[in-house]
């Protein structure tokens, strides 16, 4: 085992629990990296008590001072980018350069949080002679963040800097499949000067998530993961009268028109479907070929063949994920899809125990096939043929998801039509992975997100705070009116 067993991080210290543990497996080669505790309600309760104790002091610190700690944290992320990237690469299986890009995004969201004092400066207005109204953001208290396996560093950082700079204290429940980065984040926050108890990590699985949803001390729950669990968490947290924002899975469509730039489209689609081994909630999963675009599809296959497992394509998260993805491909072929590139039974020399799936392209997929409708979460592209844009859009609009949709065209009119009509929260024009960058917020529509607000950017401020509206009469006038 490369790393010592992991422990929960509560009130600035590692706290061993007497609970069962799970092995953390390296997807790249199948070796055991560490073990992670599968904690219970008791551990959640300890973390909530620590966060409750820290809250009055932390929230009373002026926001400008809280932000100073995150300037230091940002510097530490930059200083440690090599070792943080390597850890993400090890526990998640993505390539080192993809892991580095993830830390760069963590740095960008932290930068946004550092600007929070400027962003949230309140509003004041003299609403009547001598009478003033003011609006201020107040933190909620103890909040929780539950995160998935695909971005072990970035997704926790979508929530930590913003929620904490805004004055909340937090309990993070990272994915049990990639728990190592969470403890490194805790170390860096401590090194940056964050007071003990402001940030806590409780490791585990379903039991911890249920305890978070049920614990009366937790005021708000953010979740990022599959739609199935996003629904469970949203219902359970809100039924306990908590604020909840739960981001779910995706099935992202990308429309390719005959006037699209061939090379740019082919390389962007190949990168979108295979980046992070297709395990991005923003990855293209269904390409709708609108009209005659065979030249682009041929070039796409050429580009996809340059993506080599174990070199510029990382592993998928687990053996069961590998089997699930391969099953989707086999079923699609059995249903009549045409295999242009087959990534099944992939072996990487020297990493025979790793979980690899090569880039896979299936053509002539029908909209009613399983592979056209469900989230595969692997480096697999389903090409659906459509004669016209209206039908292409109908396919996208009928998906229960709504994270992202993109169009590749040189026509401004077509681009605008897709921007207006695609049923998704994040739209790309000539961009394969249309992730908004700060200060624009991240969040999908439909069953890709439950709750109001987004998880990053300005919209997240509303989620992590409550507004206080104060009305003051500064003059001594004794006359009463409707405001008295």
What does the alpha-carbon distance between residue 85 and residue 82 come to, in Å, rounded to a whole number? 5
Strand ranges of the sheet holding 142-146, from the earlier edge strand across to the other edge: 13-15, 8-10, 199-201, 169-173, 142-146, 218-224, 243-247, 449-450
| Residue 444 binds to ligand NAD (criterion: CB under 6 A) | yes
DSSP 198: S
Write down the least CB distance from residue 103 to ligand NAD, Å: 16
Cis peptide before 439 (omega within 30 of 0): yes
286 belongs to the binding site for ligand NAD (CB under 6 A) = no
Determine which one of 114, 281, 346, 453 is catalytic: 281
Q: Which helix (H) or strand (E) holds 190?
A: helix 180-192
Residue 250 binds to ligand NAD (criterion: CB under 6 A): yes
Helix (H, G, I), strand (E, B) or coil at 227: helix
For residues 406 and 31, give the distance between their C-alpha atoms in angstroms, rounded to a whole number: 38
As measured in angstroms, the least distance from the Cβ of 444 to ligand NAD is: 6
Interaction pattern, residues 379-418, with ligand NAD; x per rule: CB under 6 A: ------------------------x---------------
Please identify, using beta-carbon distances, which residue of 46 and 236 lies nearer to ligand NAD. Answer: 236
Contact residue for ligand NAD among 206, 306, 327, 473 (CB under 6 A): 206
Minimum separation from the CB atom of position 247 to ligand NAD (A): 4
Smallest separation (angstroms) from ligand NAD to the CB of 438: 15
Cα dihedral 183, 188, 190, 191, rounded to 10, equals 140
SS3 393: helix
With CB under 6 A as the contact rule, the residue among 85, 145, 159, 448 that binds ligand NAD is 448
> Which DSSP state fits 115?
T
Instruction: Compose the 138-177 pattern: x for residues touching ligand NAD by CB under 6 A, - for all others.
Output: --------xxxxx----x-----------------x-xx-
Residue with Cβ nearer ligand NAD (176 or 326):
176
Sign of CA dihedral 55, 61, 67, 71: negative
Least distance in Å: CB of 178 to ligand NAD? 8
Contact with ligand NAD (CB under 6 A) among 163, 170, 229, 418 = 229
Q: Which is nearer to ligand NAD, 209 or 297 (CB)?
A: 209
- Structural contact between residues 409 and 260, judged by C-beta atoms closer than 8 angstroms: yes
CA angle, 56 then 54 then 157, to 5°: 110
- Helix spans in 31-172 (H): 41-60, 63-79, 81-92, 96-114, 116-119, 154-165
Nearest approach, Cβ of residue 27 and ligand NAD (Å): 13
**If 0-12 CB within 10 Å is exposed, 13-18 middle and 19+ buried, where does residue 289 land?**
buried
Where would I find the beta strands (DSSP E) of 291-402? 338-341, 360-363, 380-386
Q: Are 460 and 468 in contact (CB under 8 A)?
A: no
When asked if residue 247 is in the footprint of ligand NAD (CB under 6 A), the reply is yes
Q: How far is the CB of 121 from ligand NAD (least distance, A)?
A: 29
User: Six-digit token pair at 366?
Assistant: 């029908």
101 binds ligand NAD (CB under 6 A): no
Q: What phi, psi does 243 have (nearest 5°)?
A: -75, 135
Per the document, the length of the chain is: 484
Question: Taking contact as CB under 6 A, which single stretch among the options 28-36, 134-142, 201-209, 258-266 is the one that binds ligand NAD?
Answer: 201-209
Applying CB under 6 A, the span of 106-114, 242-250, 291-299, 464-472 interacting with ligand NAD comes to: 242-250
Q: Is 43 in the site for ligand NAD (CB under 6 A)?
A: no
Residue labelled with tokens 């592993």? 315
Structural tokens at position 458: 């300005």
Q: Which of 68, 226, 397, 421 binds ligand NAD (CB under 6 A)?
A: 226
Q: Which residues pair with 286 in a beta bridge?
A: 253, 382
Reply yes or no on whether 281 is catalytic.
yes
* Binding status of residue 277 toward ligand NAD by CB under 6 A: no
Under rule CB under 6 A, residue 225 binds ligand NAD? yes
Judged by beta carbon, residue 63 or residue 209, the one nearer ligand NAD is 209
Judged by CB under 6 A, which of 14, 120, 205, 429 binds ligand NAD?
A: 205
Number of residues that bind ligand NAD (CB under 6 A): 27
Q: Which residue is nearest to ligand NAD (CB)?
A: 225
- Nearest approach, Cβ of 184 to ligand NAD (angstroms)? 17
Q: Does 361 bind ligand NAD (CB under 6 A)?
A: no
CA distance linking residue 370 with residue 337, whole number of Å: 11
What amino acid positions are annotated as catalytic residues?
281
Binding site residues, ligand NAD, CB under 6 A: 146-150, 155, 173, 175-176, 205-206, 209, 224-226, 229, 232, 247-250, 281, 375, 377, 403, 444, 448
């Amino acid at each position: 085992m490369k790393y010592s067993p992991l422990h929960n991080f509560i009130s600035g210290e590692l706290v061993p629990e007497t609970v069962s543990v799970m092995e953390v497996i390296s997807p790249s080669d199948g070796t055991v990296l560490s073990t992670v505790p599968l904690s219970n309600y008791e551990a959640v309760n300890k973390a909530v008590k620590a966060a409750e104790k820290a809250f009055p002091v932390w929230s009373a610190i002026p926001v400008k001072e809280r932000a100073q700690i995150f300037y230091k944290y940002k510097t530490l992320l930059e200083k440690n980018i090599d070792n943080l990237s390597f850890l993400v690469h090890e526990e998640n299986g993505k390539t080192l350069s993809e892991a580095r890009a993830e830390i760069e995004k963590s740095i960008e969201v932290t930068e946004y949080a550092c600007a929070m004092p400027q962003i949230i400066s309140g509003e004041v207005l003299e609403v009547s002679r001598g009478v003033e109204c003011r609006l201020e953001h107040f933190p909620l208290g103890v909040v929780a963040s539950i995160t998935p396996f695909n971005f072990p560093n970035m997704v926790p950082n979508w929530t930590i800097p913003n929620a904490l700079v805004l004055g909340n204290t937090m309990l993070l429940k990272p994915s049990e499949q990639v728990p190592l980065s969470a403890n490194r984040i805790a170390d860096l926050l401590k090194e940056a000067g964050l007071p003990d108890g402001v940030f806590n990590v409780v490791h585990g699985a379903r039991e911890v998530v249920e305890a978070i949803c049920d614990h009366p001390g937790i005021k708000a729950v953010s979740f990022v993961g599959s739609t199935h669990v996003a629904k469970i968490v949203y219902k359970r947290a809100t039924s306990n009268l908590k604020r909840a924002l739960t981001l779910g899975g995706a099935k992202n469509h990308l429309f390719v028109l005959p006037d699209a730039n061939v090379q740019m489209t082919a390389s962007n689609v190949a990168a979108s479907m295979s980046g992070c081994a297709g395990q991005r909630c923003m990855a293209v999963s269904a390409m709708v070929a609108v009209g005659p675009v065979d030249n682009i599809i041929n070039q796409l296959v050429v580009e996809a063949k340059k993506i080599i497992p174990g070199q510029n394509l990382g592993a998928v998260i687990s053996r069961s994920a590998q089997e699930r993805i391969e099953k989707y491909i086999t079923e699609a072929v059995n249903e009549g899809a045409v295999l242009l590139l087959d990534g099944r039974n992939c072996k990487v020399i020297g990493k025979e125990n790793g979980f690899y799936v090569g880039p896979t392209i299936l053509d002539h997929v029908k909209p009613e096939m399983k592979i056209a409708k469900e989230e595969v979460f692997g480096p697999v592209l389903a090409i659906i043929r459509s004669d016209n844009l209206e039908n292409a859009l109908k396919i996208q609009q009928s998906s229960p998801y709504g994270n992202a949709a993109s169009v590749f065209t040189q026509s401004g009119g077509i681009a605008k039509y897709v921007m207006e009509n695609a049923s998704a929260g994040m739209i790309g024009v000539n961009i394969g992975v249309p992730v908004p960058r700060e200060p624009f917020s991240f969040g999908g529509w439909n069953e890709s997100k439950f709750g109001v607000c987004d998880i990053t950017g300005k919209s997240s401020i509303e989620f992590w705070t409550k507004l206080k509206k104060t009305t003051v009469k500064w003059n001594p006038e004794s006359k009463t009116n409707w405001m008295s």
